[in-house]
Amino acid sequence: MAEVTSEPQLQELVPGVHAWIQPDGTWWINNAGAVHSGGEVVLIDTCATARRTRLFLDALDAATGGAPIRLAVNTHLHGDHVYGNALLPDETVIVAHEHTRQGILQDFILANTPPVWSPTPEWGVDAVRAPTVSFRDEITLHAGGKPVVVRHPGYSAHTVGDAVAWLPEDGVLFTGDLVFHRVTPMIAMGSLDGALRSLDWLAAFEPAVVVPGHGPVVPGAAFAEVLDAHRRYYEFVGHTAETGRDKGWTPLEAARQADLGEFADLPDAERLVLNLHRAYADADGVEINIAAALGDAIAYNGGPLACAV
């Protein structure tokens, strides 16, 4: 495994299978990947900004001898995984779950970024580029002769249209943001119940290596432990929401009363407020108010959310 560095790094997990790991995995700093086989590339996600996406694509170009990117998949709709789509060659076909395609088409952050993060990210991208192929349950892409199985869990979890990219021949699993490793998970645009349910679904792949959506690569032997940490966090969010609702507290008040315990050291702890807004909305059977949730996260944090993208 590659040495620890603060610079983004292309890690070749098995021959031809690359993870683009970007420390420190906090707001807007995601992981991506690529599968190179038979002289062509299938890409898994891009990055938030033009600068970061260019670094990724240049490193990949060097590692693959300039092999063409025929196909790309977006694991979900969030800008840190898709804004860089705009830098892909025109001939690259981009694939995503139908809800992810829809969500990307409705993106409102890139063109009009609210003052939530500090400093405000410099995207360097003029417009979102949406996938042109969508699927509902599963689709298999092929890099040369190597299959890349792209699969939706069947319900909302991190978002409404999550997908993993699974390499059955190599046992490598790209989870997108169904897994945040050593970073606070976020389910504001998905479902707390679904996120909990997705953990067993992820474990069933029995991967040899896992590339989370944020944070360092996870060896297969450590995956159960990482999923357990997610389970404990989601249960903590659930209990905090239940207590808060019982006492008549707002999500912000419930967050302020809660003891983060073992999760206090995870970066982006203010996501608790966003996650509580989701838990409350689901319990009340109403739509989440994302703008209000972000405002409360800023209040909890005592200012705009730190961002190093």
**Binding-site string for Zn ion from residue 68 to residue 87, where x marks contact by CB under 5 A and - marks none:** ----------x---------
For the CB of residue 79, give the shortest distance to Zn ion in the complex, in Å. Answer: 9
For the CB of residue 78, give the shortest distance to Zn ion in the complex, in Å. Answer: 3
Hey, what are 124's tokens?
Answer: 């360097």
Instruction: For Zn ion, give the closer residue by CB, 164 or 254.
Output: 164
Instruction: For Zn ion, give the closer residue by CB, 14 or 269.
Output: 269
Instruction: For Zn ion, give the closer residue by CB, 162 or 296.
Output: 162
Instruction: For Zn ion, give the closer residue by CB, 78 or 271.
Output: 78
| HEC letters along 42-70 | EEECCCCCHHHHHHHHHHHHHHHCCCCEE
Non-local (6+) Cβ contacts of 225 within 8 A are none
Residue 176 class from Cβ within 10 Å (0-12 exposed, 13-18 middle, 19+ buried)? buried
Instruction: For Zn ion, give the closer residue by CB, 48 or 143.
Output: 48
Give the residues across from 12 on adjacent strands: 18
- Could you tell me how far CA 81 lies from the centroid of its own chain? 7
For the CB of residue 76, give the shortest distance to Zn ion in the complex, in Å. Answer: 6
Instruction: For Zn ion, give the closer residue by CB, 18 or 76.
Output: 76
Measured between alpha carbons, how far is 211 from 75 in angstroms, rounded to an integer? 12
Instruction: For Zn ion, give the closer residue by CB, 177 or 270.
Output: 177
For the CB of residue 188, give the shortest distance to Zn ion in the complex, in Å. Answer: 10
**Binding-site string for Zn ion from residue 1 to residue 30, where x marks contact by CB under 5 A and - marks none:** ------------------------------
- Binders of Zn ion: how many residues, by CB under 5 A? 2
- Could you tell me how far CA 20 lies from the centroid of its own chain? 13
Q: Between residue 170 and residue 209, which ones bind Zn ion under the rule CB under 5 A?
A: 177
For the CB of residue 254, give the shortest distance to Zn ion in the complex, in Å. Answer: 23
For the CB of residue 83, give the shortest distance to Zn ion in the complex, in Å. Answer: 12
For the CB of residue 257, give the shortest distance to Zn ion in the complex, in Å. Answer: 27
| Residue 151 binds Zn ion (CB under 5 A) | no
Closest to 72 measured CA to CA, from 55, 52, 87: 87
For the CB of residue 275, give the shortest distance to Zn ion in the complex, in Å. Answer: 13
- Are 185 and 233 in contact by the 8 Å Cβ rule? The answer is yes
Instruction: For Zn ion, give the closer residue by CB, 78 or 129.
Output: 78
Q: Which stretch binds Zn ion (CB under 5 A): 46-54, 169-177, 247-255, 282-290?
A: 169-177
By CB under 5 A, name the binding residues for Zn ion: 78, 177
